[in-house]
């Protein structure tokens, strides 16, 4: 029988599920706004704008809960501890993802009470949750209240740069979500990691 670790407390699971739903709605409505043409859309432009703005505001509040939760609970330690020897460990983990996993090898960095993320997960989660998500939120807030945007920067429209930052960060987050779902199948079984985020216990 495999040992199970309680790594996903209730507040984190609730945040994770609500964040996933919000991200999906934001991606769908964002794409709809970007590519909607008159009479040729599953979602009307105005509805897409309204849903995007409402979910965007909720997304910001949801992130604040996540950020504070990481500060006042032990969950935050998994992002910032054990960075020693990162590059060597990242190469080892990359080899596992590209080769070892398909040969039945064990993951070189096993999850335990002190280490929840392997090196590649850690750098990806830090980049997404502490760089890309704040960027997509700040640029989104700026476009919701365009008066706060600098009119021009080095001869380039401030609105254009804000919009570009929002689109690029949203695209990066969208790609991350797809990769995240795929790598979640790399558990003791194809569904074990999905069950973990439901139960709270990592197998």
- How is the chain split into domains, by residue range? 5-202
- Single out the residue of 1, 55, 4, 53 nearest to residue 25, CA to CA: 55
pLDDT per position as a tens digit, 112-122: 888 888 889 99
Say what the pLDDT of residue 130 is.
95
Say what the pLDDT of residue 1 is.
43
Considering only 7-16, 21-30, 80-89, 169-178, which range has the smallest mean pLDDT? 80-89
CA pair distance 196, 203, nearest whole angstrom: 7
pTM for the model: 0.87
pLDDT per position as a tens digit, 136-146: 999 999 999 98
Do the beta carbons of residue 158 and residue 145 sit within 8 Å? no
Q: Which fold has domain 5-202?
A: Fumarate Reductase Cytochrome B subunit (1.20.950)
């Amino acid at each position: 029988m495999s040992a199970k670790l309680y790594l996903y407390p209730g507040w984190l699971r609730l945040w994770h599920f609500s964040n996933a739903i919000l991200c999906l709605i934001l991606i769908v409505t964002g794409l709809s706004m970007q590519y909607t043409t008159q009479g040729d859309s599953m979602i009307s432009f105005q509805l897409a704008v309204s849903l995007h703005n409402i979910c965007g505001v909720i997304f910001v509040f949801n992130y604040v809960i996540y950020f504070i939760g990481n500060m006042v609970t032990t969950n935050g330690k998994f992002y910032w501890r054990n960075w020693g020897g990162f590059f060597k460990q990242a190469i080892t983990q990359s080899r596992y993802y590209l080769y070892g996993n398909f040969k039945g090898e064990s993951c070189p960095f096993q999850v335990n009470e002190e280490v929840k993320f392997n090196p590649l997960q850690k750098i990806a989660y830090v980049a997404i949750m502490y760089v890309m998500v704040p960027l997509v939120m700040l640029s989104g807030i700026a476009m919701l209240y365009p008066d706060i945007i600098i009119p021009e920067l080095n001869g380039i429209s401030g609105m254009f740069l804000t919009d570009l930052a929002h689109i690029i960060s949203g695209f990066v987050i969208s790609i991350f979500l797809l990769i995240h779902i795929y790598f979640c199948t790399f558990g003791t079984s194809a569904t074990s990691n999905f069950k973990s985020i439901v139960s709270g216990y990592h197998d």
